Amino acid sequence: MTDIQSIVVLTGAGISAESGVPTFRGPDGLWEGHRVEDVATPDAYARDPDLVLDFYDQRRANLDRVTPNEAHEALGRLDAEWPGELLIVTQNVDDLHERGGATRLLHMHGELKKGWCLACDARAPFDGTMADRPACASCGTAGQIRPDIVWFGEMPYEMDRIDDALAACDLFVSIGTSGAVYPAAGFVQGARHHGARTLELNLEPSEGSIFFHESRMGRAGELVPAWVDEMLG
Ligand code: BV8
């Protein structure tokens, strides 16, 4: 690993699983009892805002009951000690990477603890519940705050920054994601196209496993600390 200077890490729900945060495509394939189309799309929000707001209110409230696991903390250690370039791109909307010490971090699908006011377009930290239609701290309008979360059909955040990092990285590591959703699922091909080594750490083969030079199967809580120890020598 001596010729590695720049690293991009992509994480998905699997890295938070051992913290007790449910993944999306579990055995029943539903998102906490919901079909993804019924809760994670702009149409769903327009059609049934109470259902959507409550779905996210529950997940936001759950954050106070979960803590970072060894995988989050290992990435926090890598972030603190890695002398080269590092960007952790998470598909997760929880705050466990931050709480595990990550700072060179980007939430490409937004965050549970952020709100977006559709009246004044302000995005701001948000805790509490949206179902009771709180007023916006910036413009005072009530009932216009939606989750600052990227739904299906919406453009993920900071794609230019991600694409630049993928083009420049020597190593791309994917942790705890099924490789089911684009554009994140295509990052491995982009990185590989630019000559990066590619490594997958996952409980089971993902839909994109064939694109990785190396795949290690197991729990993130075991594989990520071991990999970080390798990198920090
Ligand atoms: C866009 C936030 C365009 C919401 C999420 C047809 C073909 C290709 C693409 C499309 C298509 N039709 C539509 C599309 C586009 C669509 C898409 O990809 N659809 C899929 C279903 C085919 N994508 C989009 O719409 C994206 N936007 O394309 O915009 C555009 C262009 C111009 C202008 C405007 C728009 C936006 C997608 C973002 C949706 N939002 N999340 C929320 O959280 O509620 S997606 C959500 O699912 C996640 O964020 C993540 O991205 C995705 C996959 O979830 P995972 O994180 O991978 O979790 P999952 O449960 O699936 O897997 C967990 C994995 O962990 C498993 O492999 C498991 O084995 C492993 N695991 C479990 N435990 C452990 C573990 N691993 C290690 N240790 C453990 N302990």
Q: Quick one: 56 exposed, middle or buried, by C-beta within 10 A (0-12, 13-18, 19+)?
A: buried
Torsion on CA atoms 147, 149, 152, 154, rounded to nearest 10 = 100
* Per-residue pLDDT tens listing for the chain (233 residues): 569 999 999 999 999 999 999 888 776 555 767 788 789 999 999 999 999 999 999 999 999 999 999 999 999 999 999 999 999 999 999 999 999 999 999 999 999 999 999 999 999 999 999 999 999 999 999 999 999 999 999 999 999 999 999 999 999 999 999 999 999 999 999 999 999 999 999 999 999 999 999 999 999 999 999 999 999 99
- Taking the centre of ligand 1 as the mean of its atom positions, its distance from the CA of residue 180, in whole angstroms, is 5
In angstroms, the CA 49 to CA 32 distance is: 17
So what's the pLDDT on residue 35? 82
CA 224 to each of CA 50, 198, 199: distance values in angstroms, whole numbers, following the listed order: 38, 15, 11
- This prediction has a pTM of 0.97
In angstroms, the CA 109 to CA 11 distance is: 11
- Residue 109 is among the residues annotated as catalytic for this protein: yes
73 CB-near residues (< 8 Å, 6+ apart) = 100, 101, 225
Torsion on CA atoms 12, 214, 102, 226, rounded to nearest 10 = 120
- Taking the centre of ligand 1 as the mean of its atom positions, its distance from the CA of residue 181, in whole angstroms, is 3
Strand partners, 34: 31
| Amino acid, res. 84 | G
- Taking the centre of ligand 1 as the mean of its atom positions, its distance from the CA of residue 193, in whole angstroms, is 22
- Taking the centre of ligand 1 as the mean of its atom positions, its distance from the CA of residue 210, in whole angstroms, is 18
CB 92 within 8 A of CB 100: no
So what's the pLDDT on residue 25? 79
82 CB-near residues (< 8 Å, 6+ apart) = 7, 231, 232
Give tens-digit pLDDT for 199-213: 999 999 999 999 999
Residue in the structure block whose two tokens are 């209110």:
57
Helix (H) or strand (E) holding 172: strand 171-175
The residues lining ligand 1, judged by C-beta closer than 6 Å to any ligand atom, are 12-14, 17-18, 23-25, 40, 91, 93, 109, 149-156, 176-178, 180-182, 184, 202-204, 206, 219-220
- Active-site residue (options: 72, 107, 109, 194): 109
> 40-45 long-range CB contacts below 8 Å, 24 or more apart?
40/149, 40/151, 40/152, 41/151, 41/152, 41/153, 42/151, 42/153, 42/154, 44/151, 45/146, 45/151
- Which of the listed residues 9, 16, 18, 24 should we mutate to test ligand 1's pocket, taking the one with most ligand atoms within 8 A of CB? 24
Give tens-digit pLDDT for 44-86: 999 999 999 999 999 999 999 999 999 999 999 999 999 999 9
So what's the pLDDT on residue 27? 67
| Amino acid, res. 31 | W
Helix (H) or strand (E) holding 42: helix 42-47
So what's the pLDDT on residue 1? 53
Locate 40 and state its tokens. Answer: 């994670």
So what's the pLDDT on residue 137? 96
Measure the CA angle with vertex 103, ends 101 and 107; round to 5°: 110
